[in-house]
Structure 1
Amino acid sequence: MSDRIYIFDTTLRDGEQSPGATMNMREKVRLARQLERLGVDIIEAGFPAASQGDFESVAKIAEAVKDCSVAGLCRSVKSDIDAAWGAIKGGVSPRIHTFIATSDIHMKYKLGKNRDQVLEMTKEAVSYAAGLCPDVEFSAEDASRSEPVFLAQVVQTAIAAGARTINIPDTVGYAQPQEYGELIRYLIDNVPNSQEAIFSVHCHNDLGLGVANTLAAIKAGARQAEVTLSGIGERAGNAAMEEVIMALNVRRDYYNLETRVDTQQIYPSCRLLSMIIGQPIPPYKAITGANAFAHESGIHQDGMLKNRQTYEIMTPDSIGKSSSDIVIGKHSGRHALKSKLDELGYKLTEEQLTQVFQAVKNLADKKKQVFIEDVEAVVLEEVYRIPDRFKLKYLSSMSGNMAIPTAALRMEVRGEEKQLSDFGVGPIDAVFNTIDRLVERHPKLLRYSVNAITGGTDAQGEVTVKLEENAMTSVGRASDPDIIVASAKAYINALNRLAKKEGDPRSDVGYYDSVTP
């Protein structure tokens, strides 16, 4: 059995189905390139049959990525398989990933099929996919709740039809580590042609066991792990890539297994995802959280001063989280900024670099220190965002316990400059009310959250809003040293996304029906 573990990252497919985690096409391509830099083996880029926008995003990613495989997910029907192949066939190393449910509850209530029909559909779908693409992965949806003998029949059929990777998902996070490991071992030992395929696992986190189940399966013989950055995904999410990788790395003595992941790209990758989807990394998040390498207890501090290994089983540097803050100020040069951005994986054009450089200079005039997190926020704000139909030109707000909260704004609305002032119960409410009147829309605010990008009272505020209007939702995000300005930008960003969805239901915003193995 090989000692190599293949990392299959589904952040752009299963992860993006997480509420509030939608990404536009440029953001998806940017994250795919970072995943390539991280060293994952396979990127599941999306579900091409779900929408024209998803098809185009997968195709763009397949075209952009050169150093790893790009997979497209599809149901076990020819039209889906054709769509997946059409999207990925231009890539260097394409993979068709097809699936069908195998648990009794799914077959009865979702598919309306019996076991013989599912076996026949498996054979037909995998055979058809293998005729198009030499690299075919088959997933038995809800495998952990499937009857083992029947599951073995399905796996044997899929391998005989041409599948070279067999995924055994814990789709609803039901399995326990020991029984899940035993299921993987059972299949490897009892499927006659099991040696012809790599066994893979895709674990959801409904009971908080996604990573534990993944590692148990790997110990039992699985050699591909399907994971997401920061564990994002449907419901309670998926097995977190960074936790699986660092468990294999730190406990190499126990697993004796290798991946090709560059662990120093783990934190930059999770941080980029956080900035793109506007959801902060929780401070207590394993591996990448702000508290993961923080020590407050006197006993712990004493031990750390004597020997770091007393309370740290890995170092911040090992995941790419520098213990020293990189400060860029108003006197920093363009070359220094470019060098740092290159190091972080941001390959900007000269025009984009000029745009970011000027924005950083403007930020340095407002803040005492500009940290690398601030620079990353500027890049995301200035470069990687959808074109705006609504733009903020000027904002002034007034509030206090002796004043009526008031906001005055000047905006560009579909190419026309407009200005207006309005009131609210607080400064943010006044700003949002004014924006609504200027753009002549009245969405419902579902979520409003603020996160400080760095420490200090002059930290940039990172704001995320979620809006709903006409049965459509969108997430907007923005950052600025002034939290009211950041709030306005985030609100306008969400309005732009709503407008894009309404203008073209096949847009690259990335919304589609949830479909998952």
Structure 2
Amino acid sequence: MLANPSSKYRAIAHVDLPDRQWPSRALTQAPIWLSTDLRDGNQALFEPMNRARKLCLFHELVRIGFKEIEVGFPSASRTDFEIVRHLIDADLIPDDVTPMVITQLREDLIAETVRSVAGARRVIVHFYNAIAPVWREIVFGMGVPQIIEMVEHHIALFKRLAAAHPQTQWVLQYSPETFCMAELEVSLAVCNAAIRAWDAGPQRSMIVNLPTTVEVSTPNVFADQIEWMDRRLERREHIVLSVHPHNDRGTGVACAEQALLAGAQRVEGCLFGNGERSGNLDVVTLALNLYTLGIAPGLDFSDIAAVARVAEECTALPLHPRHPYAGDLVFTAFSGSHQDAIAKGFAAQRPGDVWRVPYLPIDPHDLGRTYDSIVRVNSQSGKGGIAFLLQRDHGVAMPRRMQIEFSAIVQAMADASETELGSEQVWQLFEQAYLVPAAPASGLAYHAHRLFDAPEGQGIELELLAEDGSVKVCRGTGNGPVAATVAALGLPLRIDSYEERSLGHGADASAMAIVEAAWPGVPGARFGVGVHAHIVTAAVLAVLSAVARFPQEARPLAASV
């Protein structure tokens, strides 16, 4: 039994705002986006990103369309310092992208921060300090006048240091950390002191960022706090009002949406909600929520699976299969009634019409996804049952996304036969879908291959059997046999994953290779499988299997090979 909470926890005070306006407003445009994946998200990882992973994620954030990216804490981390300098010195930051760096209010840290970004075209320097009562009283032992004096002193120092580098456009961001737990009058006094100290104006850009450092109230209270501040901040026309929601109560996205209604112009967050404790605002979910309202988010998530794979690789954090919009199972229905309603919705949907498909708030094709149904093979099995039968009886362990794809094939057969399918029938479907060689007319029938060393990496000479019985030879190089095979085919195929399996035990065991492939302009991915005594041959067969599973019109191979 939980203890009586009324004697232990204290609710956040109600905001006296009887004429609040935000509840009657509607969202009409996307905010300015700031990704803090490389800083706030990185510091929340069990194993922080190394240089290579940070740079990989930075380039992905640029590709997605973020115009402001918090790149690190260079005064506290040598790795961050070196990465920031590398981005600037190697001119890797596009002209329309502004990096942000964060620092505490300490003279030595501010000086090191300025040194880390000097020479950049434009940079945001982010100051923060906690202002809520429990921090003032327990952590710092400071009163409000002392905090204001500290903020003014360090901003004045920053102004002097920045003036020595006039080639850089300096933007100040000030965050009253723990804003959501502080008295509004204190927050206003500290923020206005920062605005005056920086002398915010037409030529001196400034961001005031109001964070839910630890989420402690319902989203409507946070919206009230934002509207209260929005009405009272000095030089408001020269200030960009930003929010940085965390997700301790699971309402980070709701807090951001309501804060935008209340006057916020900018939001900070991470891809898929990474961050300390329960995470930061999930910018993917917020952006696609706006998209479903008919608002262009300004961020490119048209291939959401590719974004998820990069995020997973860089952070080593798996994405939950039920994560909004991006999870492997979010466009999968287990319920027969759901499947029926969705199928009828697709049948009624016409190109150009407003999206009206039951149970699907967004068209999966807009995200590069497909709708994958789940099938009962017998009274005990669905997707998991199919996977269980294949692994138990045939030694085939399918990746989760492949289970989804193959279950749709089994569903079609079960519907057509109007009966439940046994293990051998499931295996026959698997062979027909993935292992039966394609007809020579497709140009994909495997004949032989030869590997060779090449300056670029691994080379392959691939022989394919044509419809007339002749053998066509193509060559390619890559960083391994799979990449070399794709290059030899000369196709715009993208391999998203590659896995190896062993079928059986001992020296006579066959090798199974599984690839997940995507094709530009074709929604969703396709899996290919190859089985052979030699793993390289299995890998080549897997690539050919994947290509053969794309629509014929998407793979005009006759001329290419």
State TM-score, norm by structure 2: 0.59
Offset, 1:222: 0.5
Q: Residue type of the partner of 1:245?
A: A
- 1:398-417 paired onto structure 2 within 5 Å: none
Offset, 1:105: 1.1
Q: 1:214 corresponds to which residue?
A: 256
Q: 1:139 corresponds to which residue?
A: 175
8 Å CA contact retained: 1:48, 1:55: yes
Q: Gaps (5+ residues) in structure 2?
A: 1-26, 163-168, 201-205, 347-356, 373-401, 406-432, 439-454, 459-475, 488-492, 507-514, 518-525, 531-537, 540-561
Describe the SS at the equivalent of 2:241.
strand
8 Å CA contact retained: 1:328, 1:371: no
Describe the SS at the equivalent of 2:340.
helix
Q: Residue type of the partner of 1:197?
A: I
Q: 1:17 corresponds to which residue?
A: 43
Offset, 1:371: 7.4
1:203 aligns with 2:245: yes
Offset, 1:61: 3.6
Distance in 2, matches of 1:322 and 1:276, equals: 25
1:108 aligns with 2:137: yes
Offset, 1:24: 1.0
1:394-433 per-residue CA deviation (whole Å, 9 max, x = no partner) reads xx9x999xxxxxxxxxxxxxxxxxxxxxxxxxxxxxxxxx
Task: Rate the CA distance shift 1:49–1:208 in 2: closer, same or farther, 3 A.
Answer: same
Offset, 1:319: 2.8
Q: 1:121 corresponds to which residue?
A: 150
Q: Residue type of the partner of 1:230?
A: F
8 Å CA contact retained: 2:222, 2:255: yes
Distance in 2, matches of 1:2 and 1:80, equals: 40
Task: Rate the CA distance shift 1:73–1:190 in 2: closer, same or farther, 3 A.
Answer: same
Distance in 1, matches of 2:47 and 2:280, equals: 14
- 1:392-471 paired onto structure 2 within 5 Å: none
Describe the SS at the equivalent of 1:135.
strand
Q: Residue type of the partner of 1:104?
A: P
Describe the SS at the equivalent of 2:277.
coil
Q: 2:509 corresponds to which residue?
A: none
Distance in 2, matches of 1:18 and 1:251, equals: 32
Q: 2:361 corresponds to which residue?
A: 313
- 1:178-257 paired onto structure 2 within 5 Å: 178-252=220-294
Task: Rate the CA distance shift 1:88–1:265 in 2: closer, same or farther, 3 A.
Answer: farther
Q: 1:493 corresponds to which residue?
A: none
1:166 aligns with 2:208: yes
Q: 1:275 corresponds to which residue?
A: 313
Task: Rate the CA distance shift 1:28–1:322 in 2: closer, same or farther, 3 A.
Answer: farther
Distance in 2, matches of 1:134 and 1:215, equals: 29
Q: Gaps (5+ residues) in structure 1?
A: 332-348, 365-369, 379-395, 401-451, 460-480, 483-517
Q: 2:497 corresponds to which residue?
A: 374
Distance in 2, matches of 1:300 and 1:73, equals: 47
Q: Residue type of the partner of 1:89?
A: A
Distance in 2, matches of 1:371 and 1:355, equals: 13
1:8 aligns with 2:131: no
Higher relative CO (CA 8 A, sep ≥ 6), structure 1 or 2? Answer: 1
1:88-147 per-residue CA deviation (whole Å, 9 max, x = no partner) reads 234343111111111111122223322111111222223333451521111110100011
Q: Residue type of the partner of 2:37?
A: T
8 Å CA contact retained: 1:38, 1:266: no
Offset, 1:276: 2.2
Task: Rate the CA distance shift 1:363–1:41 in 2: closer, same or farther, 3 A.
Answer: closer
Offset, 1:228: 0.2
Larger Rg: 2
Offset, 1:363: 11
Offset, 1:235: 1.1
Describe the SS at the equivalent of 1:74.
strand
Distance in 1, matches of 2:116 and 2:33, equals: 21
Offset, 1:2: 9.6
Q: 1:52 corresponds to which residue?
A: 78
Describe the SS at the equivalent of 2:496.
helix
Distance in 1, matches of 2:528 and 2:28, equals: 52
1:356 aligns with 2:392: no
8 Å CA contact retained: 1:242, 1:266: no
Distance in 2, matches of 1:124 and 1:171, equals: 24
